[in-house]
Amino acid sequence: MFSDFPLWWDGLSQIAKIYWMIAFPSTLFFLIQMVMTFIGGDVDHDMDHDVDAQIDADHGMGFQFITIKNMIAFLTLFAWSGLASIEGGFSLTITIIVSTISGLVMMVIMASLFYYISKITQSGTLDYDNAIGETGDVYLTIPSKKSGMGKVQITVQGHLRTLNAMTEDIEDIKTGAIVEVDEIISESVLLVHRAR
């Protein structure tokens, strides 16, 4: 089987070789990504913790078009639709157009899917009022006098959450400090003070 590989490879056009070189690794990564998603190894939701609080201050995940998952999906569909177009006898221009459009459509589908899934999970039965009076750890420094937003990790309704937080304290509350929730400023922003 593998002894015929050099003959098969040499018989391919240059563009077909390029598409195959994209198809093999992207398909492998796509399959690994899918297996990890289904067995619970998907940890994309933890990736936003390193983002500056000013950028991350909006509510919810938003529509994320360019992500690793979407790029893998783009490359996978780009390569396979390009190979199908070559096999169908299309010209180089049409092949590139078809494969690019196919990849972009896949990116839009993936981005939309994850956007709506995040909306479903975010709008579940979590009642932020249950966080009032609870204590948690500061994850990202909370600027003083409500001058900016930080993040706290707090258990709400039996689940550890990382939520946006502000404080009226006169000093910044540094990462690792223990805080107590005073009130809910908006749907997902907590007003906290340093626990004594």
- Counting the structural domains of the chain, the total is 2
Weakest mean pLDDT among 37-41, 76-80, 81-85, 119-123 = 119-123
Mean pLDDT of the 84-93 span: 93
What pLDDT is recorded for position 1? 59
- Backbone Cα Rg of the chain: 24
pLDDT digit string (tens) for 120-171? 655 456 778 888 999 999 999 999 999 999 999 998 888 888 899 999 999 9
Q: How far apart are CA 188 and CA 87, in angstroms?
A: 52
pLDDT at 48 over 70: no
The residue out of 122, 146, 165 marking a domain boundary is 122
How many CB atoms are located within 10 Å of the residue 106 CB? 19
* One domain for residues 83 and 173: no
Instruction: Specify the amino acid at residue 34.
Output: M
* One domain for residues 15 and 84: yes
pLDDT at 70 over 50: yes
pTM for the model stands at 0.50
**What CATH number is given to the structural domain containing 148?**
2.40.50.140
Structural domain including 71 reads: 2-122
* Cβ neighbours for 13, distance < 8 A, ≥ 6 positions apart: 86
Q: How far apart are CA 142 and CA 192, in angstroms?
A: 9
How many angstroms separate the Cα of 115 from the Cα of each of 52, 67, 107, 176?
21, 12, 12, 31
* One domain for residues 104 and 162: no
pLDDT at 17 over 50: yes
Are residues 54 and 161 in contact, defined by beta-carbon separation less than 8 angstroms? no
The residue out of 68, 97, 122 marking a domain boundary is 122
* One domain for residues 164 and 113: no
- Torsion, Cα of 77, 79, 81, 86 (10° steps): 180
Q: How far apart are CA 74 and CA 106, in angstroms?
A: 6
* One domain for residues 94 and 66: yes
Q: How far apart are CA 130 and CA 136, in angstroms?
A: 13
